[in-house]
Structure 1
């Protein structure tokens, strides 16, 4: 469950942690980019949203302008007993904090999704939604990733850890490797370098970092070890999302409370995202065309949208679409929705 030059007042606010259970005092003032063209049908992958209001994960079609129309919503999911989950799972699930679709070679190259909610993690078949593995967990889970071998990596912000569960070994497997990481928020598998990219805080310096974890051991008994040489300090505090920069596997999208960035793996440097100036971005991705799709809380928008999430201060009723050069193409609004994170229904890791 999603970044550089910011005015002093904005930067101070950005240091306040708003990760799903913290509140800021005042929303930062951000001047929105100039609208480049009126709303239109946006081509590309379907968009996946975690919705706290409906308590479901929902998939919408960006080619349809009115997302309140029935034909706009293509799929939705929540745990049910018919899908193999128990009542406690159903009661725990609140709409999700992350969702990643992957093709898993060891499972006949079929598509599965790794997902998290604050106290729940699962692997499900897609599109059937049937349970492959799941577990209720404390720690405020923010992100999940499904590795090619069928094991699931999970980041827990309050728990202060990244775990790799041996889910490849069975639907109720509980064995895991753990790497301690304060404020762990994101986890993304990189098939190019064979590492897990994660965000969090350094245990000693408390610096807000992106770093990489090597996966060792076996499928049944995995191990996690940080590769210190990959560790880099994020330009602003409270690192949040890490996602694939589709079209260039040397780059990553990285967001924090204070900004949004493009990270270069080779140089280990950050540059401002095309939409630079936005704060508290919870989810970000790019379509094959280069168009950027993102979510940021209504609470942190000024002015606050007329249609907004009234349930909490970390979600939004609006999904924004920006051109590759950072101009606002348009938005999609779902009345009453509280979207936390956006993903693309793209099974490619990078």
Structure 2
């Protein structure tokens, strides 16, 4: 995998492309206050991409011991029985994103989209059966299922956002492409009827959050920027964009340098209540307001005794915070390498 080499602003894009998974050497302290008791957390189930098991895994936050069999409610990896090719199975390394969506066009059934570094898939949920999939290079970091059944993808090394016409068949290869350096996130927003994305404007190397309109038809999509939404990120190398459940005017946004709440109306960022942690790879909130996030063990000081044994961009720990930012506690899975976390909620907002 790639290594971060901090050798100057002149190669900023190269720095990001190696940093987008590996965390670097900068470390910040994690939560230091121990909760008085191990707590059950009422809320929706949580999906984790696990580099160690090479699976998407879903856990119940009500279960306090995530190493117990009861805690893990669902797991997925591509298999021939689920309709995937040998090349797709070989390419899957545990996932970089996972989202569940209820699809009106498909009788209100639920489906999930998955990205991995070199593979993407649309599956039935919870069956796991293949609906569409493809081996795609470029270091995929995020996936989204659009209301018309097409899949949006972000590729950080290939510098693009694409929308594939997955609604047109399991092997359809038609796509629209928008150039965006170090593209890292895609999130559909029905409020603006557009796709939020993070990346870098290659013409000026500005790190941005912006939105794309998906035009054309389902069979032949088109992508154009909604330039009225473009803003410069408060720190470099945008990473996660996720829904702020309970307030459709807000988004969670993370970068290598911090974590923020974005106001769509004012187009301004405010610091997240969770102490502005760096290198947060996945972040979201339960409908109750509770915040959940995953941050690489390598960026915690000290590094936890139980930590990801494979790489420096994942963690064995999921942290829970109150809506006000007070740390409540953690769930730790021995040997796990969690990269991204998602609330298992089939609504966009």
Tell me whether the two structures share a fold, i.e. TM-score over 0.5.
yes
Q: Post-superposition shift, 1:288?
A: 1.4
Q: 1:149 to 1:31 in 2, by over 3 A?
A: closer
Corresponding position of 1:277 = 276
Q: What SS class does the counterpart of residue 325 from structure 2 fall into?
A: coil
Aligned length: 336
Q: 1:245 to 1:21 in 2, by over 3 A?
A: closer
Please tell me whether the aligned partners of residues 30 and 277 of structure 1 are also in contact (alpha carbons under 8 angstroms): no
CA deviation string 1:206-239 (max 9, x = no partner): 1111000011101100100001111001100000
CA deviation string 1:59-98 (max 9, x = no partner): 0000000000000000000000000001111110000000
Alignment pair present for 1:56 and 2:30: no
Q: What SS class does the counterpart of residue 81 from structure 1 fall into?
A: coil
Q: Which runs of 5+ in 1 are unaligned?
A: 1-13
| Whole-angstrom CA distance in 1 between matches of 2:60 and 2:144 | 23
Q: 1:224 to 1:293 in 2, by over 3 A?
A: same
Q: What SS class does the counterpart of residue 81 from structure 2 fall into?
A: helix
| Whole-angstrom CA distance in 1 between matches of 2:35 and 2:258 | 22
CA deviation string 1:16-74 (max 9, x = no partner): 536455452x2323363645653300010000000000000000000000000000000
Q: 1:84 to 1:168 in 2, by over 3 A?
A: same
| Whole-angstrom CA distance in 2 between matches of 1:330 and 1:102 | 29
CA deviation string 1:152-211 (max 9, x = no partner): 000000010000001100110000000000000000000011000000001211111100
| Whole-angstrom CA distance in 2 between matches of 1:172 and 1:192 | 31
| Whole-angstrom CA distance in 2 between matches of 1:127 and 1:23 | 32
Mapping of residues 248-287 of structure 1, within 5 Å = 248-287=247-286
Corresponding position of 2:7 = none
Corresponding position of 1:294 = 293
Q: 1:269 to 1:37 in 2, by over 3 A?
A: farther
| Whole-angstrom CA distance in 1 between matches of 2:338 and 2:264 | 30
Please tell me whether the aligned partners of residues 28 and 278 of structure 2 are also in contact (alpha carbons under 8 angstroms): no
Q: What SS class does the counterpart of residue 30 from structure 1 fall into?
A: coil
Q: Which runs of 5+ in 2 are unaligned?
A: 1-11
Mapping of residues 96-175 of structure 1, within 5 Å = 96-175=95-174
Please tell me whether the aligned partners of residues 29 and 302 of structure 2 are also in contact (alpha carbons under 8 angstroms): no
Higher relative contact order (CA 8 A, sep 6+): 1
Q: Post-superposition shift, 1:310?
A: 1.4
Give the TM-score of the pair, scaled to structure 1.
Answer: 0.93
| Whole-angstrom CA distance in 1 between matches of 2:27 and 2:298 | 9
| Whole-angstrom CA distance in 1 between matches of 2:87 and 2:268 | 44
CA deviation string 1:104-150 (max 9, x = no partner): 11111110001100000000000010000000000000000001110
Q: What SS class does the counterpart of residue 326 from structure 1 fall into?
A: coil
Mapping of residues 8-87 of structure 1, within 5 Å = 17=16, 19-22=19-22, 24=24, 26-30=25-29, 32=31, 34-35=33-34, 37-87=36-86
Please tell me whether the aligned partners of residues 27 and 298 of structure 2 are also in contact (alpha carbons under 8 angstroms): no
Corresponding position of 2:207 = 208
Give the TM-score of the pair, scaled to structure 2.
Answer: 0.94
Corresponding position of 2:321 = 322
Q: Relative to structure 2, which stretch is displaced further, 54-63 or 30-39?
A: 30-39
Q: Post-superposition shift, 1:277?
A: 2.7
